[in-house]
Amino acid sequence: MSISTVGVIGAGQMGNGIAQSMAMAGLEVILNDIDGASIERALATIQKSLTRMESKGKLSEPAEQVMGRIKTSTELSALAQTQLVVEAVSENEALKKSLFKQLDELCPAETILASNTSSISITRIAAATNRPDQVIGMHFMNPVPVMKLVEVIRGLQTSDEVNDKIVALVEQLGKVAVGSEDRPGFIVNRILLPMINEAVFALYEGVGEAKAIDDAMKLGTAHPMGPLELADMIGLDTCLSIMEVLYEGFRDSKYRPCPLLRSMVDAGYLGRKSGQGFYSYE
């Protein structure tokens, strides 16, 4: 079965980027979210991105033609005829399992179910379905249309055929598939999030102010963004969730979330998406 129609669940930052990348690769896309306003914002974001790319000569076809391949729905039932569904909702294991259970009942047996989770076990997510061999991780990087990497994570029961299809799809998207074992945080966040967490500890302990910490890492280690700037872009709630997965998964104190990170999430300071994180955003 070839993949021609893809469902994307979640119209947030990652979901709209995945939908755009799929449509740019010639695939029909159904973008799903329970919130119609979120879908409208996602479409506006995609349109703006495609228009900018078109003006720079980075599209092989008109932006409107790409947009024409993106349909939307607030009902999961719209995904019943897709060959692949990519889940891109909040980093919450219970929510993901509930979605995968519903998708398992809704979609044909041959439909591949993928999660964009950045840290949660694919094997555990797959256990919520009756098709664990058809469940896989596709961890895209942010911003999706720009970043080349996709971590492909096999659960314990993911079949070779499904893995091969997803790797081929990643290549069709013009991206690079890197395989990871199903371990907490996979590759990128196993390394990245502890660094961000340590930067938060440095701020918490008064080693330096936020700008000083970020400037030091940018100028001293050639990072394009400082770790606290990056945390604001990712979302502090997502950073905290990943650190909790790492801490619970390894039971090692080196993954303990910084108390300041937890306090900021409790206060609703989530970064760019809330207007306030380690920096203020108008």
- Rounded CA separation 94/72 (Å): 25
Query: Does 241 qualify as catalytic in the annotation?
Result: no
- Rounded CA separation 271/199 (Å): 15
Split at pLDDT 50, 70, 90, the class of 114 is very high
* Whether the Cβ atoms of residue 196 and residue 257 lie closer than 8 Å to each other: no
Q: Which residue has the tokens 């755009």?
A: 20
Catalytic hit among 139, 180, 197, 241 = 139
Average pLDDT in the chain: 97
Percent of the chain with pLDDT over 70: 100
Catalytic hit among 21, 115, 116, 118 = 118
Catalytic hit among 32, 115, 151, 180 = 151
Residue 11 marked as a ligand binder: yes
Residue 15 marked as a ligand binder: yes
Residue 118 marked as a ligand binder: yes
Residue 10 marked as a ligand binder: yes
What local confidence, expressed as pLDDT, does residue 282 receive? 80
Q: What are the Cα distances from residue 84, in Å, to 9, 114, 136, 210? A: 11, 7, 11, 41
H/E element, 36: helix 36-55
Q: Is the pLDDT confidence value at 180 over 90?
A: yes
- Rounded CA separation 144/75 (Å): 24
Query: Does 223 qualify as catalytic in the annotation?
Result: no
Residue 55 marked as a ligand binder: no
* Whether the Cβ atoms of residue 215 and residue 262 lie closer than 8 Å to each other: no
Q: Is the pLDDT confidence value at 44 over 80?
A: yes
Question: What's the average model confidence in pLDDT over 38-58?
Answer: 97
Tens digit of each residue's pLDDT (9 = 90 or more) over 66-109: 999 999 999 999 999 999 999 999 999 999 999 999 999 999 99
Q: Where are the beta strands (DSSP E) in 157-244?
A: 176-180
Tell me which long-range contacts 266-273 makes (C-beta under 8 A, separation of at least 24): 269/236, 270/235, 270/236, 270/237, 271/231, 271/232, 271/233, 271/234, 271/235, 271/236, 272/232, 272/233, 272/235, 273/13, 273/235
* Whether the Cβ atoms of residue 8 and residue 30 lie closer than 8 Å to each other: yes
* Whether the Cβ atoms of residue 270 and residue 234 lie closer than 8 Å to each other: no
Domains in the chain (CATH in brackets) are: 5-181 (3.40.50.720), 190-271 (1.10.1040.10)
User: Residue 34 half-sphere exposure, CB side, CA atoms within 13 Å?
Assistant: 6
Candidates 214, 206, 198; CA nearest to 261 is 198
Query: Does 16 qualify as catalytic in the annotation?
Result: no
Query: Does 248 qualify as catalytic in the annotation?
Result: no
Residue 116 marked as a ligand binder: no
Q: Is the pLDDT confidence value at 1 over 80?
A: no
Tens digit of each residue's pLDDT (9 = 90 or more) over 235-259: 999 999 999 999 999 999 999 999 9
Question: What's the average model confidence in pLDDT over 148-177?
Answer: 98
Question: What's the average model confidence in pLDDT over 132-148?
Answer: 96
